[in-house]
Structure 1
Amino acid sequence: MRKGTRKHGRVTTVRKVSESFTMTEMFERFMWFKNSEGLAPRTIEEYQLHFQWLLDYLAQDLSKEQMTLEVFLEWIDFMLNDKGLQPTTVNIRVRTMRAFLRWCYFEKLIGEPVHERFKPMKTAEDTIEALTVAEIKTLLTAFDESTFVGFRDKVMVMVLLDSMVRISELLSMKRSNVDFKTGIIKLEAMNTKTRRAREVPLSTKTMRLLKGYMLESEDFGEDLLFLTYDGREMCSNTWRTRLHEVAEIAGIKKAVRPHIMRHTGALLYIMNGGDPFSLQKILGHSDMSMTRKYIQMTNMDVKRQHNSFSPLKNVFK
């Protein structure tokens, strides 16, 4: 094995690969490995979804020789410039594929560390995509509460905003874990991203709506909280599409996805006087660095907060 083979103006290390598989076969082995790590079902689903999108773009499987840097750079360019995806969305898919390629390299399924040659793009960390209060009101009035699906979807949006959970956590909620006395829903460890159980509080208004929905759906006899109109488990991608369509009908220009509800809820929580430490616990963040971004508000919000909590407020009463 020779080291220091020069390619594209830089030195890379080329290793002898142990076996010859197609990219899809490599990915199947990668997913077996990821499943053995005990990842959350939603995380596994996202890995598979991102890989399928790459295959759709390629319109073919690849051999290990075809898994070159140029292929992945062209794929990134396609997502950004042809599909018009946001850099944050592209970065999620890039991270998934880099993890896959890194595993392939260390397992000696490919000869070059392709994952080291393309990285997520830098994005503005001080901006958070969120809905305004007016947009929230507009969205909530767009659901047809006279139908089961419309009422269910409104309740789901209310729970998303109020509890600030992820969509995977919302769809895995159980009726048996809703406590109306304390106003809390328990999230089981196996259904959270961090694999830690936590409790999320809900306001009285949301709990009242949720109780009405649970009465509507109790005849299904299922412990899962949110179900389809015929009592089956809901598909997250289907509901994402429906939420986006309702938002478009309501005239909201932003791309309304479930995660924007989490961002919106967290931002409003801070703006309404909530402290970052309790927010961190509600969100299920492992450290404060992930929660800190919600404290980075606009100048107008900072000014309003300063007027209320100025250090000199009690000095010159």
Structure 2
Amino acid sequence: MAKNNRRHGVFAVDQRFADVALNSNEDRRDSLTIEKALNIIFRQMEITGSRPRTIESYSYVFNDFVEHTGLIYVEEINADSIYDYLNDINVAKTTKLLRLKTIKAVLSRFFDNRWVEYKFWKNIQIKIDKQVKPAAKESDIEVLLKLIDRSTFIGFRDTVAILLMYKTGIRIRTLGELRERHIDFDNKMLNLEGAVLKNHDYLKLPIDEQLAEMLQTLILQNAKIRRKYKKRHDYVFITQNGLGINRSDSSSNAISKQLSKYAKLYGLKNINAHAIRRAFAKNLLNKGASVALISKALGHQDLSTTTQYLDLNKEEVANSLRDYL
């Protein structure tokens, strides 16, 4: 009798809804797991030339997000889960912003693979007061170049590196990846392929006669050191043991460490690779270059990044605008 009540009484469930629930479970079994999705996009990133550090960073942040939220399937990710994660983690706002950018980058790859239908994360923002890092002063760079002992290999190498960063604006990481084939001495040009640039785009940057001669001298000195230590490569900037200056697991390299040492030794403020790159941008602006041109030279994909580099104060903006009245 009880069995009959379950079928026809108050406890009975319409068979149509029972079938729907069953089908829902079957669909869930066929859903794409986040773990599998991450494995796919990381493989895609490896194939397209993304750096190991970038992939490791994506993996760390997104797996931390998944662990905090307990999500399993891609279809479970929504705006609320992202807000919950950002609210739960006890880190500085700047760190939250970096993690949000990473989550958005991964989700954009999910979108490109058509695993999500729309970019629900697009309007999620974290507002912080950005501290603009100032450019190195031209006078400080000049003082530094005078104080470095260029009679030694390390001193000469560092001088060439500083001048190259100041006159072309290339990043410290790109400096370490620079090969002899990237320098066109006939046309006084750096031809930088995407593999050595952060945005993976192609970039051409001019160099002057003085810098070209110094680079040629450095390359000849490098050849002697490589022969001594039996190294086979064509890096332009190497250590005194004939190795490349970049380390795969860090943005720091031998040149950046030398800059820190010089700053302390000579009491110079704001002498580092990033400040020198900003000095390049500010120098171009002072010579009349447009923000769009400077942005191209820096390899930026967004003009807003370039304007932050230039760190224009209100007086500079007002005076510049006056020329167009």
What's the offset of the Cα at 1:268? Answer: 1.2
Any conservation in 2 of the 1:271–1:301 contact (CA below 8 Å)? no
Any conservation in 2 of the 1:144–1:151 contact (CA below 8 Å)? yes
* Residue matched to 1:226: 237
Task: Output the CA distance in 2 between the equivalents of 1:243 and 1:90.
Answer: 31
1:282 aligns with 2:287: no
After superposition, give the CA deviation of every residue in 1:169-227 in whole Å (9 maximum; x if it has no partner): 32332212323343211112333344432210123333333233222112325222222
1:238 aligns with 2:252: yes
Q: 1:1-317 residue pairs with structure 2 within 5 A?
A: 16=28, 18=31, 27-36=38-47, 38=48, 40-42=49-51, 44-49=52-57, 51-52=59-60, 62=67, 65=70, 70-75=84-89, 77-80=90-93, 87=94, 91-100=97-106, 119-124=125-130, 127=132, 129-140=134-145, 143-219=148-224, 220=226, 221-233=232-244, 234-235=246-247, 237-239=251-253, 242-243=257-258, 245-246=260-261, 247-254=263-270, 257-285=272-300, 291-292=306-307, 297-299=312-314, 301=316
After superposition, give the CA deviation of every residue in 1:239-284 in whole Å (9 maximum; x if it has no partner): 1751563234443454x55333322211111113334454344233
Task: Output the CA distance in 2 between the equivalents of 1:164 and 1:116.
Answer: 31
Q: When the two structures are superposed, what TM-score results if normalisation uses the length of structure 2? A: 0.63
Paired letter, 1:282: A
What's the offset of the Cα at 1:144? Answer: 4.9
Secondary structure in 1 aligned to 2:280?
helix
User: Against the structure 1 CA distance between its residues 21 and 203, is the aligned structure 2 distance closer, same or farther, given a 3 Å change threshold?
Assistant: same
Secondary structure in 1 aligned to 2:241?
coil
User: Against the structure 1 CA distance between its residues 294 and 249, is the aligned structure 2 distance closer, same or farther, given a 3 Å change threshold?
Assistant: same
Paired letter, 1:45: R
What's the offset of the Cα at 1:162? Answer: 0.9
Task: Output the CA distance in 2 between the equivalents of 1:273 and 1:230.
Answer: 42
What's the offset of the Cα at 1:95? Answer: 0.9
Paired letter, 1:121: K
Paired letter, 2:184: D
User: Against the structure 1 CA distance between its residues 210 and 95, is the aligned structure 2 distance closer, same or farther, given a 3 Å change threshold?
Assistant: same
Any conservation in 1 of the 2:58–2:106 contact (CA below 8 Å)? no
Runs (5+) with no aligned partner, structure 1 = 1-14, 81-86, 313-317
* Number of equivalences: 276
After superposition, give the CA deviation of every residue in 1:61-117 in whole Å (9 maximum; x if it has no partner): 948617965554454x4245xxxxxx3x7634431233235657998999xx99679
CA RMSD of aligned residues (A): 4.4
Any conservation in 2 of the 1:174–1:223 contact (CA below 8 Å)? yes
After superposition, give the CA deviation of every residue in 1:4-35 in whole Å (9 maximum; x if it has no partner): xxxxxxxxxxx95836676xx76544411333
What's the offset of the Cα at 1:129? Answer: 3.0
Secondary structure in 1 aligned to 2:252?
helix
Task: Output the CA distance in 1 between the equivalents of 2:165 and 2:283.
Answer: 13
Any conservation in 1 of the 2:281–2:310 contact (CA below 8 Å)? no
Task: Output the CA distance in 2 between the equivalents of 1:281 and 1:143.
Answer: 31
Paired letter, 1:242: K
Any conservation in 2 of the 1:101–1:114 contact (CA below 8 Å)? no
User: Against the structure 1 CA distance between its residues 215 and 53, is the aligned structure 2 distance closer, same or farther, given a 3 Å change threshold?
Assistant: farther
